[in-house]
Structure 1
Amino acid sequence: MRNDVKFRFATKDDAAEILDFVRALAEYEHLSDQVTATEEILREWVFEKKGAEVLFLSAGGKDIGYALFFYNFSTFLGRSGLYIEDLFVYPEYRGRGYGKALFAQLARIAAERGCGRMEWACLDWNRPSIEFYLSAGAEPLSDWTVYRLTGERLHRLAEDASYSRKKL
């Protein structure tokens, strides 16, 4: 890794670049068909609604990686944690310590902001990332299963009369 590594937080004007990174990550994860985000959606949810933050990693004056993160909350710790939704370095820059630098910067941000922990999910088949996280001292949570409601299923539950607020 070179000494010219820099970090910067994204601004509203970076929405197109964020979307480029999102698409590159989705392609790597074989999930391109699931990307419905647009520049407008990212501007609204990341910057106007402040739903997340984006950190860029640059080397040689070029953005080569990014992380998108937000806060979650641990009732057991009584404090927020930093949840990493995306951590990505372009393939041609991998293996040179850039990912580790980005990951360490996220840990510094979490520590500086008083977060009790840092968490993320990783696809089961992504051995290079799993090995990277393990080498950084991360522990997999084998006792937890992630569940998700999206799209039509989410809306169906929201409108389900058997869970009506009238019964509360």
Structure 2
Amino acid sequence: MFSTDTFWAFIGLVLFFVVVVAVGAPRKILAMLDTRTDRIRTELDEARKSREEALALLAEYQRRRRDAEAEAEAILEEARKEARRMTEEASEKLKDMVERRTKAAEAKIAHAESQAISEVRGRATDLAVAAAANLLAKKVSGTVATKMIDDSISTVRQRLN
């Protein structure tokens, strides 16, 4: 069944296992494996923690970005409203200024017109008085003429003014 060489190889193998067990190699190997397992487990836990922190930071930055975008949009909307308000205000001021200048120009025109009418009436009065004086001087003489001329002059002046 067994040859002597196989028998001695079997005995050598058994002795080898006995020596290995006696020296405590399995415990050392198991301890080494346990240490390595613990180190790997620790690294995995740290990796999970780092991943969770990274996700939390990502969420925080995304929230801040959304808040910043919302704030920027609010600032833009406020600026648009302010620009519209300022445009409307400037338009109103321009309209008021145009109305005031138009009224001032109309007032100046009315004043100039009034002055022109007064001057025309004054000259017309002077011409009418002079013409009446000449006419009466040629046709009426004496104290009656002087009295009539003075009365006519005062009447014409009163009616024309």
For the superposition of Structure 1 and Structure 2, which TM-score range results when normalised by the shorter chain? under 0.3
Task: Report which of the two structures shows the higher radius of gyration computed on alpha carbons.
Answer: 2
Give 1 or 2: higher strand fraction. 1
